[in-house]
């Protein structure tokens, strides 16, 4: 029998084994992939101490050297992209091709290079006879990063690179569902940094709580569910940590009656089904005007029916399985509930028995507010389509969610679409597209979808404190 690889933590510039491991399985086949190290309080303390010690010198490292180090890390990602993509596909499920693992590794490189070139110059806010006042941006300290299982490597880069670029040190914990690719990636990119600047610990969910409570961690950046974000905020409160929380979304798209249904079908599909719908800013609810409702349903079903779903290691696949059993069962339950309450299946539903957590791409027509799949975030390959007749009513229903991450307006009248976009209660609004994030544009949610922003100058500032200097 082939020996399963046992992975290690990476702390203070060295691999650190643990006494306990947990098995990680391929969601497409159920095959055992590797053994993930389970860290506890002792290993976390070790990582935080290493990061704290490294901060003393890294925070004083010249800005140009930190910039160069981030570019070097991006170069390491490029060199090892194929290795990391294959490992990512095996543990996360997404295909190598399409908007899958190779796409994700490309995003890692692009974000790292872009963020490396960001600067936070001293800002002069007063220079007159009464005095000279400057605002300086200073690193916070040890940053604790907690990442999810849907885009594990790209989100890790979103957390790690701005933290290091701005002079902080990092302890990162990947999701227990997808730890192996992150463990390997951090081992690779941390090797080009001074020891202790970047450390990775893996384990179960209780490790995340230990991090948010830890007095030696000065900021937590977390991407994941609203429920977990609330717990992190509560457990971080006694130490008054800085927080950046990018939480769940139940993004609404609103289609106006002037569209060409066939022209927007591809954009609607990928807005909803990128990564099998397992994306915070994916399109989760689609409101379509009654004049074009049937046409949009038909065009979307025709496009979706041609997208192959299967094992991500097959180069011909475009979508893969749901990543884990818990999420698979949630999607399955939400679809069954919707059908029981009158939703009409245009495509999908009724998954076949067999290996892997494969749930078919599912479109549900005649959905309505009050159905669980409309009111809750499904985070999987199922999209409810809701008919509306009055645009003001559609805006009201779109805004009724507790979430406010993203939204979209679909129309040939761009100026009208912009006016409607301004009425949506969300951090990002797209017109005739959905979920297209960029490294130069701040991204974050309102209401229950989080605190703070990532990306660009505004995202970089979240890893700093302001010091006013009067002279």
Catalytic residue among 43, 91, 246, 462: 246
| CA pair distance 387, 297, nearest whole angstrom | 10
Q: What pLDDT shows up at residue 346? A: 98
What is the band of 326 on the pLDDT scale with cuts at 50, 70, 90?
A: very high
Write out pLDDT tens, residues 85-139. Answer: 999 999 999 999 999 999 999 999 999 999 999 999 999 999 999 999 999 999 9
What is the band of 325 on the pLDDT scale with cuts at 50, 70, 90?
A: very high
What is the band of 3 on the pLDDT scale with cuts at 50, 70, 90?
A: confident
What is the band of 285 on the pLDDT scale with cuts at 50, 70, 90?
A: very high
| CA pair distance 45, 432, nearest whole angstrom | 48
Structure token digits, residue 287:
């409101």
Mean pLDDT, the chain, integer: 97
Domain limits, the chain: 9-247+447-470, 251-431
Q: Is 36 a catalytic residue?
A: no
DSSP conformation class of 2: P
Mean pLDDT of 235-259: 97
pLDDT at 378 over 70: yes
Mean pLDDT of 315-326: 97
Q: What pLDDT shows up at residue 354? A: 87
CA 172 to chain centre: 15
pLDDT at 161 over 70: yes
Using an 8 Å Cβ cutoff, are 246 and 256 in contact?
no
pLDDT at 348 over 70: yes
Catalytic residue among 280, 297, 377, 426: 280
Which conformational region is residue 348 in: left (phi greater than 0), alpha (psi within -120 to 50 degrees), or beta? left
The secondary element (H helix, E strand) that includes residue 286 is: strand 283-289
What is the band of 202 on the pLDDT scale with cuts at 50, 70, 90?
A: very high
C-alpha Rg value of the chain to the nearest Å:
23
Fold of 9-247+447-470: Aldehyde Dehydrogenase; Chain A, domain 1 (3.40.605)
Fold of 251-431: Aldehyde Dehydrogenase; Chain A, domain 2 (3.40.309)
Q: Is 280 a catalytic residue?
A: yes
pLDDT at 2 over 70: no
Please tell me whether residue 379 adopts helix, strand or coil conformation. coil
Q: What pLDDT shows up at residue 353? A: 87
Mean pLDDT of 439-464: 98
């Amino acid at each position: 029998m082939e020996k399963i690889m046992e992975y290690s933590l990476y702390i203070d510039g060295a691999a650190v084994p643990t006494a306990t491991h947990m098995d990680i399985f391929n969601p497409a086949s159920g095959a055992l992939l590797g053994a993930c190290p389970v860290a506890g309080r002792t290993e976390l303390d070790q990582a935080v101490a290493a990061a704290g010690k490294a901060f003393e010198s890294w925070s004083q490292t010249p800005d140009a050297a930190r910039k160069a180090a981030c570019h070097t890390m991006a170069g390491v990602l490029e060199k090892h992209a194929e290795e990391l993509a294959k490992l990512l596909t095996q543990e996360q499920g997404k295909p190598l091709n399409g908007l899958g693992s190779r796409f994700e590794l490309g995003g890692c490189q692009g974000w790292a290079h872009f963020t490396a070139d960001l600067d936070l110059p001293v800002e002069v806010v007063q220079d007159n006879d009464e005095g000279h006042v400057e605002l300086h941006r200073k690193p916070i300290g040890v940053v604790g990063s907690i990442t999810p299982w849907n885009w594990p490597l790209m989100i890790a880069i979103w957390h790690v690179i701005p933290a290091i670029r701005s002079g902080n040190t990092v302890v990162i914990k990947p999701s227990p569902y997808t730890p192996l690719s992150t463990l390997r990636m951090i081992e690779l990119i941390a090797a080009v940094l001074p020891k202790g600047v970047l450390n990775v610990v893996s384990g179960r969910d209780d490790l995340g709580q230990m991090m948010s409570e830890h007095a030696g961690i000065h900021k937590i950046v977390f991407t994941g569910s609203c429920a977990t974000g609330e717990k992190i905020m509560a457990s971080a409160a006694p130490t008054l940590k800085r927080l950046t929380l990018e939480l769940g979304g139940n993004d609404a798209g609103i289609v106006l009656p002037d569209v060409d249904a066939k022209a927007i079908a591809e954009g609607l599909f990928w807005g909803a089904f990128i990564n099998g719908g397992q994306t915070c800013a994916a399109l989760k609810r689609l409101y379509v005007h009654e004049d074009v409702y049937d046409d949009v349903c038909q065009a979307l079903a025709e496009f979706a029916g041609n997208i192959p779903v299967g094992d991500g290691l097959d180069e011909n696949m475009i979508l893969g399985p749901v990543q884990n059993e818990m999420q698979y069962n949630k999607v399955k339950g939400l679809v069954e509930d919707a059908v029981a309450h009158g939703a009409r299946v245009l495509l999908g539903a009724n998954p076949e028995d067999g290996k892997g957590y494969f749930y078919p791409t599912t479109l549900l027509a005649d959905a309505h507010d009050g159905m669980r799949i409309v009111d809750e975030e499904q985070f999987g390959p199922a999209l409810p389509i809701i008919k509306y007749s009055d645009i003001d009513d559609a805006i009201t229903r779109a805004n009724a969610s507790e979430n406010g991450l993203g939204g979209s307006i679909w129309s040939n009248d761009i100026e009208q679409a912009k006016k409607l976009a301004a009425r949506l209660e969300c951090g990002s609004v797209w017109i005739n597209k959905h979920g297209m994030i960029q490294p130069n544009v701040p991204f974050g949610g309102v209401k229950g979808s989080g605190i703070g922003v990532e990306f660009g100058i505004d995202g970089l500032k979240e890893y700093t404190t302001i010091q006013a200097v009067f002279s």
